[in-house]
């Protein structure tokens, strides 16, 4: 008895595949766009883009998402014609392809959100049908000296790619890889050969070729690699590996009269049998499954704390718990190793996070009419996918502000002696093993502090920190009329809120009136689910704070503490703590939370920074450092500034997780006046 197949079961798999192929398509669209602006062809990018869309179309058809099928099919037709034309596209064609990619992405998001998927835009489909993708190339000035049966397997764009590479000074060479049982035993296959060769050469095509069964070709098969490279024969041969003399140059000869046949519809750029080698050894796992694994790990961590408490109770009764202590230590190490393994699975690279940025800047360039380029140094950092998804909208807002508000129009830049093309730079690096820094800077005219103050109805800010506070006021905008990209007063408010919700910090550097641009830095934790934290006590109440938030733990010497000369604001007691010759505001958590105590001997203080300024929080006793599971407080009835969540330390009671950076904001406004 057979049962009908419900293709909705495969939607999660489709979303994972579509996300990857859309990411690849974005990179290739940028490459094609750059080539179109220079009037050049980019055959490989066109073929890779075709492959991504062809895969998306097939997967969308499988799960019954016809609007995505319609858009992808129309884009395929344009790319197929471009492939036959040698990989050259017009700017108009690139514009419509980018619009098509955005339309597919919108429908993928709608499907992921569980809502209805909009129909394919009729105007976009018609525009794609009517496109003239580019000019057909004239006859090639040279043909490749390659056997006719191999030459016939090359598409027009692949031949153009080889010829263009030769004209650019690269060497076109051929290397034959012959598989054998002996090589397989050594771990050498066409997949490993491809990976190694790609490090020293550009692979244009890999052609499987039948050969007589001999001692040299025991399988009756060899693979011909057609390459473009500036590397030596020895380097290429070592990568394959083959003897250096087996690397053959593809010299040019007179053009042949008969053109090779066009590529068949749906054919991939490399006709390799079997699985795509890029997918080998990779298993895609949905984020929901990873979240479920993290939940189980969180329960295991809480159980470990309960075990520790039970062992301590037995020890207090005089029971010999040495064996249990040893087991507890081994269990703790295993849990830490498991945590590290799961976090690694959840991590994505900052390079992947910033991949959509060039396309975003391209769209802003078109909508604002400004000439802008972006330079990205993504580094080698990684962060939790959940953090990446929550912080990316803040990055987009910063980029929009940089282009729309920071970069001047071309004529104004000329008058100021600047190049017409503005520059936005994005830099990422890990500050520690728990925190990452993302910096967005522009070379525009800077921020007019007086204009911001007038719009806010406040005094002109004297410091960058005060300016940031003004810019982040809800509803504040320096524009009189909203545009597609700005003017609604949401930008910096959203940036600051999103960053601080993650337990991060926003920093601004904007020297007034120098015309050297603006720099905004986001410091965010790598993960927010399971974190290392300090545990401490105030009175009889226990609290925790993430380690990444704390700059230093210091002893509080009562002789070095001075009560602030100004009046106290309400019950909040603010003093000044001398720290290496610097006066640091000292806030007693007892007064902040109206707890008893506050004058215990041997007090400690946790030092944090807000907008670059240090603040210290006095506590009674430090318990130590341990892993905690943060449970966010999302209910607006219990959500309080400075208390992002709770945790369980094994006693079954909720323990508050504090955001000391947000709590330091209690010194703003009237409370800050108490220090002046």
- Tell me: pLDDT of 152 over 80: no
Give the whole-number percent of the chain exceeding pLDDT 90: 9
Rounded Cα distance between 422 and 670, Å, is 41
Are residues 114 and 153 located together in one domain of the fold?
Answer: no
Are residues 606 and 514 located together in one domain of the fold?
Answer: no
The pLDDT tens digits of the residues spanning 9-20 come to 567 778 878 888
Tally Cβ neighbours within 10 Å of residue 162: 27
Are residues 486 and 578 located together in one domain of the fold?
Answer: no
Q: What value does the mean pLDDT of the chain take?
A: 79
Q: Is residue 521 part of a domain?
A: yes
Tell me the mean pLDDT in the region 480-485. Answer: 48
Tell me the mean pLDDT in the region 531-555. Answer: 87
The pLDDT tens digits of the residues spanning 187-216 come to 888 888 888 888 888 888 888 888 788 877
- Tell me: pLDDT of 100 over 60: yes
372 or 593: which carries more pLDDT confidence? 372
Q: Is residue 278 part of a domain?
A: no
Rounded Cα distance between 562 and 675, Å, is 11
Q: Is residue 272 part of a domain?
A: no
Q: Is residue 323 part of a domain?
A: yes
Are residues 591 and 634 located together in one domain of the fold?
Answer: yes
Are residues 513 and 398 located together in one domain of the fold?
Answer: yes
Are residues 385 and 509 located together in one domain of the fold?
Answer: yes
Please report, for the domain that includes residue 39, its CATH number: 1.20.120.160
- Tell me: pLDDT of 581 over 90: no
Question: What is residue 587's three-state secondary structure?
Answer: strand
Q: How confident is the model at residue 395 (pLDDT cuts 50, 70, 90)?
A: very high
Q: For residues 564 and 674, is the Cβ–Cβ distance under 8 A?
A: yes
Q: How confident is the model at residue 295 (pLDDT cuts 50, 70, 90)?
A: confident
Are residues 331 and 386 located together in one domain of the fold?
Answer: no
Q: Quick one: pLDDT at residue 629? A: 83
Are residues 502 and 555 located together in one domain of the fold?
Answer: no
Are residues 64 and 158 located together in one domain of the fold?
Answer: no
Backbone angles phi, psi at 623, to 5 degrees: -85, -35
Question: What is residue 546's three-state secondary structure?
Answer: strand
Tell me the mean pLDDT in the region 431-454. Answer: 85
Boundary-marking domain end, from 129, 152, 185:
129
The number of residues in the chain equals: 676
Boundary-marking domain end, from 235, 252, 269:
252
Domain with 323 in it = 289-348
| CA distances in angstroms from 208 to 71, 75, 218, 224, 226, listed in the order given | 33, 29, 15, 6, 11
Rounded Cα distance between 534 and 39, Å, is 59
- Tell me: pLDDT of 257 over 60: no
Tell me the mean pLDDT in the region 35-62. Answer: 85
Tell me the mean pLDDT in the region 99-125. Answer: 89
Please report, for the domain that includes residue 368, its CATH number: 3.30.565.10
Q: Is residue 118 part of a domain?
A: yes
Tell me the mean pLDDT in the region 149-171. Answer: 74
Are residues 341 and 366 located together in one domain of the fold?
Answer: no
Q: For residues 393 and 494, is the Cβ–Cβ distance under 8 A?
A: yes
- Tell me: pLDDT of 144 over 70: no
Are residues 104 and 173 located together in one domain of the fold?
Answer: no
Q: Quick one: pLDDT at residue 326? A: 92
Q: How confident is the model at residue 390 (pLDDT cuts 50, 70, 90)?
A: confident
- Tell me: pLDDT of 427 over 90: yes
Residue 568 DSSP label: -
Q: Quick one: pLDDT at residue 650? A: 76
Are residues 385 and 372 located together in one domain of the fold?
Answer: yes
Tell me the mean pLDDT in the region 381-401. Answer: 88
- Tell me: pLDDT of 142 over 60: no
- Tell me: pLDDT of 320 over 80: yes
Q: 44-58, 323-337, 507-521: lowest mean pLDDT where?
A: 507-521
Q: Is residue 614 part of a domain?
A: yes
Tell me the mean pLDDT in the region 571-577. Answer: 72
All residues at 6 or more sequence positions from 18 whose CB lies less than 8 Å from its CB, including other chains = 56, 59, 60, 68, 104, 108
Domain count, the chain: 5
Rounded Cα distance between 485 and 369, Å, is 12
Boundary-marking domain end, from 107, 129, 151:
129
- Tell me: pLDDT of 670 over 50: no
Q: Is residue 300 part of a domain?
A: yes
Q: How confident is the model at residue 598 (pLDDT cuts 50, 70, 90)?
A: low
Rounded to the nearest 5 degrees, what angle is found at the Cα of 416, between the Cα atoms of 413 and 421?
Answer: 25
Rounded Cα distance between 383 and 389, Å, is 10
Q: How confident is the model at residue 573 (pLDDT cuts 50, 70, 90)?
A: low
Count CA atoms within 13 Å of residue 200 on its CB side. Answer: 18
- Tell me: pLDDT of 652 over 80: no
Q: For residues 209 and 221, is the Cβ–Cβ distance under 8 A?
A: yes
Please report, for the domain that includes residue 607, its CATH number: 2.40.50.180
Q: Quick one: pLDDT at residue 12? A: 74
Q: Is the peptide bond before 199 cis (omega within 30 degrees of 0)?
A: no
Q: Quick one: pLDDT at residue 439? A: 93
Rounded Cα distance between 34 and 46, Å, is 12
Q: How confident is the model at residue 441 (pLDDT cuts 50, 70, 90)?
A: very high
Q: Quick one: pLDDT at residue 478? A: 63
252 or 116: which carries more pLDDT confidence? 116
Q: 154-158, 413-417, 567-571: lowest mean pLDDT where?
A: 567-571
| CA distances in angstroms from 239 to 176, 188, 195, listed in the order given | 12, 11, 9
Q: Quick one: pLDDT at residue 602? A: 59
Q: Quick one: pLDDT at residue 675? A: 37
- Tell me: pLDDT of 426 over 90: yes
Rounded Cα distance between 537 and 543, Å, is 6
Q: Quick one: pLDDT at residue 449? A: 85
Tell me the mean pLDDT in the region 233-251. Answer: 82
Give the whole-number percent of the chain exceeding pLDDT 70: 82
Q: Is residue 455 part of a domain?
A: yes
């Amino acid at each position: 008895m057979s049962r009908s197949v419900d293709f909705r079961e495969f939607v999660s798999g489709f979303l994972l595949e579509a996300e990857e192929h859309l990411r690849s398509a974005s990179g290739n669209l940028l490459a094609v766009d750059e080539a179109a602006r220079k009037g050049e062809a980019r055959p490989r990018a066109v073929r890779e883009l075709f492959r991504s869309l062809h895969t998306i179309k097939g997967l969308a058809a499988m799960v019954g998402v016809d609007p995505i099928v319609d858009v992808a099919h129309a884009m395929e037709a344009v790319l197929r014609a471009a492939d036959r034309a040698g990989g050259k596209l017009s700017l108009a064609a690139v514009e419509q392809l980018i619009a098509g990619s955005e339309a597919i992405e919108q429908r993928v998001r709608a499907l992921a959100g569980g809502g209805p998927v909009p129909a394919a835009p009729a105007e976009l489909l018609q525009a794609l049908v009517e496109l003239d993708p580019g000019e057909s190339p004239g006859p090639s000035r040279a043909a490749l000296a390659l056997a006719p049966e191999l030459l016939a397997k090359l598409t027009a764009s692949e031949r153009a790619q080889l010829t263009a590479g030769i004209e650019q000074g690269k060497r076109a060479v051929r290397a034959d890889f012959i598989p054998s049982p002996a090589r397989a035993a050594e771990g050498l296959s066409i997949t490993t050969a491809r990976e190694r060769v790609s490090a020293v050469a550009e692979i244009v095509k890999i052609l499987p070729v039948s050969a007589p069964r001999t001692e040299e070709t025991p399988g009756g098969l060899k693979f011909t690699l057609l390459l473009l490279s500036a590397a030596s024969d020895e380097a290429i041969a070592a990568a394959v590996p083959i003897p250096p003399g087996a690397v053959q140059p593809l010299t040019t000869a007179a053009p042949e009269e008969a053109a090779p046949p066009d590529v068949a519809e749906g054919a991939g750029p490399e006709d390799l049998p079997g699985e795509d080698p890029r997918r080998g050894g990779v298993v895609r796992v949905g984020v929901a499954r990873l979240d479920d694994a993290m939940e189980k790990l969180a329960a295991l961590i809480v159980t470990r704390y309960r075990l520790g408490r039970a062992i301590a109770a037995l020890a207090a009764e005089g029971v010999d718990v040495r064996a249990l202590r040893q087991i507890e230590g081994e269990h703790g190490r295993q849990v830490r190793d498991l945590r590290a393994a799961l976090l690694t699975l959840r991590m994505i690279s900052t390079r992947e996070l910033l991949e959509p940025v060039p396309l975003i800047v391209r769209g802003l360039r078109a909508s604002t009419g400004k000439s802008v380029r972006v330079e990205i140094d993504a580094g080698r950092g990684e962060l939790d996918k959940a953090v990446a998804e929550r912080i990316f909208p803040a990055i987009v807002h910063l980029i929009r502000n940089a282009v729309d508000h920071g970069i001047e129009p071309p004529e104004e830049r000329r008058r100021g002696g600047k190049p017409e093309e503005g520059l936005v730079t994005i830099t990422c690096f890990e500050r520690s093993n728990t925190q990452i820094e993302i910096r967005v800077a522009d070379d525009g005219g800077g921020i007019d502090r007086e204009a911001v103050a007038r719009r806010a109805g406040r005094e002109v800010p004297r410091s960058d920190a005060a300016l940031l506070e003004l810019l982040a006021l809800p509803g504040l905008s320096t524009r009189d009329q909203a545009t597609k990209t700005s003017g609604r007063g949401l930008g910096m408010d959203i940036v600051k809120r999103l960053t601080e919700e993650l337990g991060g910090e926003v920093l601004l550097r904007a020297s007034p009136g120098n015309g050297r641009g603006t720099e905004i830095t986001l410091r965010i934790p790598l993960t927010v689910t399971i974190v290392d934290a300090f545990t401490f006590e105030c009175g009889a109440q226990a609290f925790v704070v993430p380690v990444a938030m704390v700059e230093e733990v210091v002893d509080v010497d009562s002789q070095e503490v001075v009560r602030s000369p100004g009046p106290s604001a309400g019950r909040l007691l603010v003093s000044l703590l001398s720290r290496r010759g610097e006066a640091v505001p000292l806030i007693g958590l007892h007064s902040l939370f109206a707890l008893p105590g506050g004058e215990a001997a041997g007090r400690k203080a946790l030092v944090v920074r807000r907008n670059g300024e240090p603040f210290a929080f006095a506590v009674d006793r430090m318990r130590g450092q341990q892993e905690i599971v943060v449970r966010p407080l999302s209910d607006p009835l219990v959500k309080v500034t400075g208390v992002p969540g709770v945790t369980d330390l094994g006693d079954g009671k909720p323990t508050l997780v504090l955001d000391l950076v947000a709590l330091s904001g209690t010194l703003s406004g009237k409370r800050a006046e108490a220090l002046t």
